[in-house]
Amino acid sequence: MKRIAVAGLGYVGLSNAILLARQNRVVAVDVSAERVAAVNAGRAPIADPDCERQLAEGALNLRATLDPQEAYGDADYVFIATPTNYDPATHAFDTSSIEAVVASVRAVNSRAVMVIKSTVPVGYTAALSKRLGCERILFSPEFLREGRALHDNLYPSRIVVGEFSARGRSVADLLAKAAVKRDVPILLTDPTEAEAIKLFANTYLALRVAMFNEIDSFAMQEGLDARELIEGLAMDPRVGDDYNNPSFGYGGYCLPKDSKQLLANFADAPQALIGAIVASNDARKSAVTAAILNRKPRRVGVHRLVMKAGSDNFRESAVQDIMQRLAAAGIELIVHEPAAHALPESCPARLEPDFDSFAQNADLIIANRADPELAPYASKLFTRDLFGAN
Ligand SMILES: NC(=O)c1ccc[n+]([C@@H]2O[C@H](COP(=O)([O-])OP(=O)(O)OC[C@H]3O[C@@H](n4cnc5c(N)ncnc54)[C@H](O)[C@@H]3O)[C@@H](O)[C@H]2O)c1
C-alpha cells in the first residue's frame, strides 16, 4: 500500500483518487472547500455515476483536505490534476496551478514522486524540471471521458508514463494494479513524447468530429441525407461507426484547448491540418448558425448548455458560441439547463427552469443532443444529432 496525494478534485483528480484509494491510502487536496466537504461526506462534486457509487459505498481509503501539508507531507506519490486553461493572449496553457502544487510539495516533502496528470504543452515537464532543478516530476497523460471518468480509469485503453525508468514503471504499475481491467497495455516514453501523445490524441478526436461535422454541413447545404452518407462511410472498418455523430461543433474542456495548444506547439514545424481542424470547428458553428437563422425564428430555446449528454459540464460547449452568433443576429434566447442555477455572465439569454414553459415559449428549439423529453416538440426542434450518441 502506497501513500498517495492527489491535487485537484475535478474529473481527473477525483477519478484517479478513487481508483488509487481502492488499494492505497489517498489524501486528496483541493482549494475548494465545497469539493472537499462533498468528498468527505461521500458525495461526488462532479456528475459521474461510478464516482458517485464508489463514494457512497464508503469502502475507499480516501479523505479530502484543504491543507496541502496534510496531503503532501508523507506522500510517496503526488498526482497533480489541477486546471490548465488555454490563454489566448499567450497561445499556451496557464500551468500556474501545477507549479503552485509542485512548490507546495517541495516545501514539505523531499522525496515524493510528482506525476502530472493535467494536460500540458509539449516540452513542459522537461523544461519545468530543468528550471526548478527537480528530478522527480513525471508526466502521465489522462485519457478519460467526462461522464465516464472513473470507468475509463478502471478500464483504461492504455497507460502511458513519460519516463523510461523503474520509477516510471512503478507509476504505470500503480495505475494498472488499481484498474479492474487486466493486462492493460503500458507504454513508457520520453517525457515530451508523452505530452505530445496526449495533445495529438485529442486533436485526432477533434479531427474526427470536425470531419463528420463537415460531411453534415455539406449534406445540409446540398439537401442530402447526412445519415445515409455517414452510415455508408462507417461500414468501412477502417472508418468505423464510433464517434461519428454530427454535433454543433466539438466542445468541452479538452478538445478545443488541446488542439489550440498543439497548434501553438507547431510554431516551427510545418503543418496545414492542425490549423484546419481549429478553423473547421469555427466554420461548423457558422454553418449551424446559418441553418438556424434560415428557419427565421424570433425566440430560440436552447435545450441544454452541456457539451454532451450525461455531462454536467458546459465549459466551452459549442452551443454557447452559436448563442453568441444568434444574439448578434438579434435573436431572443431562452435556455433550459437543469445543471445550472444561473447562466454564465457572458451568456446572452434568459434561464427558464420550467421545461414546459421553456418549450412552449420558444418558436424554435435547438439541441446539440436530442433528449427524449423533446419528443413532443419534434416539429420545432433543430438538432444535428442523427444517431442519438455522443
Ligand atoms: N476533464 C477531462 O475530461 C480531462 C481529460 C483529460 C485530461 N484533463 C486535464 O486534466 C486537468 C484537470 O482537468 P479537470 O477536468 O479534472 O479539471 P476540473 O476543473 O474539473 O478540476 C480541477 C480541480 O483542481 C482544483 N485546484 C485548482 N488549483 C488547485 C491547487 N493549487 N491545489 C489543489 N487543487 C486545485 C480546482 O478547485 C478543481 O476542483 C486539466 O489539465 C485538463 O486539461 C481533463
Is the per-residue pLDDT at 342 higher than 90? Answer: yes
Paired sense of beta strands 381-382 and 137-139, if any? unpaired
Burial class (CB in 10 A: 0-12, 13-18, 19+), 345: exposed
Tens digit of each residue's pLDDT (9 = 90 or more) over 207-264: 999 999 999 999 999 999 999 999 999 999 999 999 999 999 999 999 999 999 999 9
Per-residue pLDDT tens digits for 1-24: 999 999 999 999 999 999 999 999
Residue nearest to atom 15 of ligand 1 (CA): 11
Helices 166-178 and 11-21 cross at an angle (nearest 10°) of 80
Closest atom of ligand 1 relative to the 35 alpha carbon: 39
Residue 1 Cα to ligand 1 midpoint, Å, equals 25
What's the gap in Å between 256 CA and the centre of ligand 1? 16
Burial class (CB in 10 A: 0-12, 13-18, 19+), 246: buried
Q: To test the ligand 1 pocket, which listed residue (6, 9, 12) has its Cβ within 8 A of the most ligand atoms? A: 12
Q: Which of 67, 253, 307 to mutate to test the pocket of ligand 1 (most atoms within 8 A of CB)?
A: 253
Q: Which residues contact 217 (CB under 8 A, 6 or more apart)?
A: 283, 284, 287, 288
Beta strand pairing call for 92-93 and 86-87: antiparallel
C-alpha cell belonging to residue 216 = 453534415
Q: Residue 195: exposed, middle, or buried by beta-carbon count in 10 A (0-12, 13-18, 19+)? A: buried
Is this structure's pTM higher than 0.85?
yes
User: Which protein residue's CA is at the shortest distance from atom 27 of ligand 1?
Assistant: 82
- Ligand 1 center to 144 CA (angstroms): 12
Mean pLDDT for the chain overall: 97
> Which atom of ligand 1 is the closest one to the Cα of 100?
31
Instruction: Tell me the CA–centroid distance for residue 30 and ligand 1, in Å.
Output: 10
Helix (H) / strand (E) containing 107: helix 96-108
Q: Is 300 in contact with 289 (CB distance < 8 Å)? A: no
For 264-281, the pLDDT digits (tens) are 999 999 999 999 999 999
Q: What CA–CA distance (Å, rounded) separates 58 from 360?
A: 44
Tell me the three cell numbers of residue 166.
523503474
Rg value, the chain, Cα: 22
At residue 317, the pLDDT reads: 94
Q: Determine whether 254 is an active site residue.
A: yes
Q: What is the pLDDT of residues 70-121, one digit of tens each?
A: 999 999 999 999 999 999 999 999 999 999 999 999 999 999 999 999 999 9
